[in-house]
Structures are given as structure tokens and as C-alpha cells.
Amino acid sequence: MPSPKKIVLLGATGSIGENTCRVVAKHPDKLELLAIAGRYRWRKLVDIARQFNVPHVAIYDEACCEEAQQSGLFPAETQFHCGLQGLIDVSVLAEAKLVVPAIVGTLALKPTLAALEHGKDIALASKEILVLAGKFVMATAKKHGSMMLPLDSEHNAIFQCLQGEREIDVDRLILTASGGPFRDFTREQMTGITKEMALKHPNWSMGPKITIDSSTMANKGLELIEARWLFDMPAERIDVTIHPQSIVHSMVQYVDGSIIAQLSPPIMTFAIQHTLLYPERGAGTDATLDFSQLMSLDFRPPCTEQFPCLRLAREAAVAGGIATGAFNASNEVAVEAFVADKIGYLDIPRVIEKTLESIANRDPDNLDELLAADAEARNIAAEKVIALGGTVAQ
Ligand code: NAD
Ligand code: MG
């Protein structure tokens, strides 16, 4: 029997991290955790390290890394790796086969690029990486012959729907979106949205940032840009449809008009398991759909007037260059300000729009230029927050 696939899990303490651990626990003969990484919550890493006997632990926050090392709570033979360099080091471990970047935001960009340069395959949850640096990430994967396996449920669905088909026969990609908790709100109702309301998703259980992004539909905007890079598809050929049940995870339309869809319950283990075991399949971690029960599937077009984030993301995707990174950066700044009660809910798209209007778009030649543009977009967005009456910690 072949030895289990060795996995590096960046963001092990988060929602994707937890579901990834559940999939690994379901398939101990096929999957093994070689390294886990987190930011502050090292006590949660202790539990994972003990349960799965994980030899390498990386912690971004240096003080927490030190504390974890001194705690004596990890298995005696644990090797610790601190800071961003620690995350990079575990991502290129010789035995590692697959790296799972599941860190919220763009922090996993450098570890992911390092992993690709070392020929590791990637199961990508951190969509923000592609939104910021899709051109560089995809070129690095291609150059080193590494696979970019989509772990985001929509992209994983599309990936499954493309199997065995010819690229030339694909007409368009159709991303489904739940529409979030406010899909039926009037504009007036939307003015009263609080963070407590935005942090409750009707279908999915996810981390706080993506939950808010789903409510504004910025998440679908990020996913449109993610799909543009993963499948080398122009934004004009990527549609979005609202599907409140979150059962059809996305679709591919072929030139003959046939549409192929992937279905499963709205639980992330389906997409995660597909990427971890690929190209094999194994018994599911969670129960699948039950057709002995009444089930309906509804679809309707999104309203971009109500949800401007989707329009702004599409415009950024069409513009290319640093615009998509600026969309992501300004969204992160705006969501942080909203969660800190500094701006209102409807200010989130305002901050993004004003940032995109203020930044001079250009096509960066290298990663440093791109990261400088990201920092510039964050500064501009912070100014826009202040202009809207909020304050931003420097
Ligand atoms: P989460 O908030 O639940 O977890 C975030 C994880 O990132 C934690 O483990 C945290 O320790 C880690 N992290 C944050 N900053 C870090 C740093 N500086 N160094 C090391 N680790 C750091 O988030 P989540 O919902 O699991 O989402 C993670 C990523 O997956 C995001 O990019 C999100 O867009 C994407 N994603 C999530 C879902 C979902 O269902 N939750 C679905 C698709 C895609
Ligand atoms: Mg998704």
C-alpha cells in the first residue's frame, strides 16, 4: 500500500483548517499531516498536533511561538518554526506533497509561491492570494509543473465539471452564490445592518471575514477573479447566479448549450476532500444529499445595484493590473473598519469604489511592485474610511 500523502496545513485553527482535519481523520491510510500553522491560537494547535501526531508546527506570532515552545504541551519531538519564515519553511519541507493555504487574507502568498517553486501541489482556500497575485502564482505553478487544486467550493465544482472535456468546448463558467443573509433586503433595510447580522450566514458555517464578504457579495467578486486565474477565463465569460439553497456549487456551460453542475450539501468537507485525495476519491466525510426528501433548486440573477461589491469586482477583473489587488485590499480595510464599528455596512462598497477610483492602474512587472501597490491601496482605503467619519489605527 502506498504511504499516506503528506500535507502542510496553513491556517489549521480556522474553519477550513478544522474541516481539513476532519477529512484527514476520515482517511488516515491516505492522508497525513506533516505540518500545521496558525497565528496566535497555539493551544488549538496542541490539540491537533496531539491528535494527528504532527511533527512540525509553525506559528506566525513570534511571542506565541516562543510561549508554545516553552509550554511543554506539544508532543516532545515537535519541531517549531516561527514567523513568516517559519510558514515558508514548513511549506517547502522535503517530504511535503500538498500544501493547503487556508489563511484569511494574503499572508500565505510567499509560503504558497515557495511551495510551488519546490514543486509542491497546492489545494487553495486562500482565494485572496490569486486576487492579489494571480498572474505570478499561476505562472510559478506552470513553470514548476505544480498543480493548483481549487478548494473553494465553487471552483472545486467547476474543476470537477471540466474533467474529461476539451478546453476549446467550454463556453462559460457559472458561479453560484447563496446571496447571503440580505439577499431579500430592500435598500432601506440594508441601512440598518449590524455586524451581528452580517456575521450570520444562512447556509454555510465559515470564518468571520468570509461570512461578511458573503453578505456583501464581495466574496463572489473575489471568486470571480479567482476563477479568472484558475481557469484562465476572461471575466466576461464568468456569470454569477443567485442560488439560495447552496446545493449546486457551480456549473460549466459548453458550446453546445449543455450545462454540467456539481451538487453536494453546503459543507466544505466535500470540496476539501476532493482536493486532498485527487485524483482518487474516497468515502465522504459527511452525509450527502437525500433525494427521498423534497428538495428545490432556485436560481435568479444577482442585483448589482443592491450589491455593488460584485460590480466593482467585475470591473476590477476586466481592468486587470493592480485593480483586483486594490479591490481585495480596500475590502479588507473596509470590513475591518465595519467590524470595529468605525463605518456603516453600506460604507464597505463606498470605500472600495473610492479606492479604485483613486488608484492609478498599472500592470506590475514583479512581486515587489505588486506588494507596493497593495500597501498603497490599503493606505488609500484607510483615508477613505476616515473621510467617511471612521478612524483607522495606524
Ligand atoms: P478563519 O478566520 O476561520 O481562519 C483563519 C485561519 O487563518 C486561522 O487558522 C488563523 O490562525 C490563520 N491566520 C490568520 N492570519 C495568520 C497569520 N498571520 N499567520 C498564520 N495563520 C494565520 O477563516 P476561514 O473561514 O477558515 O477562511 C480561510 C481562507 O479560506 C480564507 O481565505 C477564505 O476566503 C477561504 N475560504 C473559506 C471557506 C469557508 O468555508 N470557511 C470557503 C472557501 C474559502
Ligand atoms: Mg466559495
pLDDT tens-digit readout, 252-310: 999 999 999 999 999 999 999 999 999 999 999 999 999 999 999 999 999 988 999 99
Instruction: Report the separation in Å between the CA atom of 75 and the middle of ligand 2, taken as the mean of its atom positions.
Output: 35
| Neighbour count for residue 172 (Cβ, 10 Å) | 16
In a domain, 63, yes or no: yes
Q: Is residue 276 lining ligand 1, measured as CB closer than 6 Å?
A: no
- 367 part of a folded domain: no
- Single out the residue of 10, 106, 82 nearest to residue 375, CA to CA: 106
Q: Is 43 in the pocket of ligand 1 (CB under 6 A)?
A: no
Residue 347 in domain: no
Question: Which of 144, 97, 303 shows the shortest CA–CA distance to 216?
Answer: 303
| Neighbour count for residue 301 (Cβ, 10 Å) | 9
Please tell me the distance between residue 257's alpha carbon and the centre of ligand 1 in angstroms.
Answer: 37
What is the distance of C-alpha 166 from the center of its chain?
27
Nearest atom in ligand 1 to 126's CA: 32
Q: How far apart are the first and last CA of the chain?
A: 55
Q: Ligand 1 atom closest to Cα of 222?
A: 34
pLDDT at 392: 63
Share the mean pLDDT of the chain.
96
**269 located within any domain:** no
Domain holding 69: CATH number?
Answer: 3.40.50.720
List Cα–Cα distances, 156 to 39, 123, 152, 162, 212, in angstroms.
26, 10, 6, 10, 22
Q: Are 351 and 312 in contact (CB under 8 A)?
A: no
Query: Mean of the pLDDT values across residues 180-193?
Result: 92
Which residue range is the domain that position 21 belongs to? 5-151
247 CB within 6 A, ligand 1: no
* pLDDT tier, 333 (very low <50, low <70, confident <90, very high otherwise): very high
How many domains are there within the chain?
1
Residues with CB under 5 A from ligand 2 (ion): 152-154
- Whether 337 is covered by a domain: the verdict is no
Closest ligand by atom to 177 CA: 2
**145 is a domain residue:** yes
pLDDT at residue 2, rounded to an integer? 85
Residue 394, pLDDT > 70, answer: no
Per-residue pLDDT tens for 144-179? 999 999 999 999 999 999 999 999 999 999 999 999
Residue 110 lies in a domain: yes
In a domain, 101, yes or no: yes
Sheet holding 56-59, edge to edge: 79-82, 56-59, 31-38, 5-10, 98-101, 121-124, 148-150
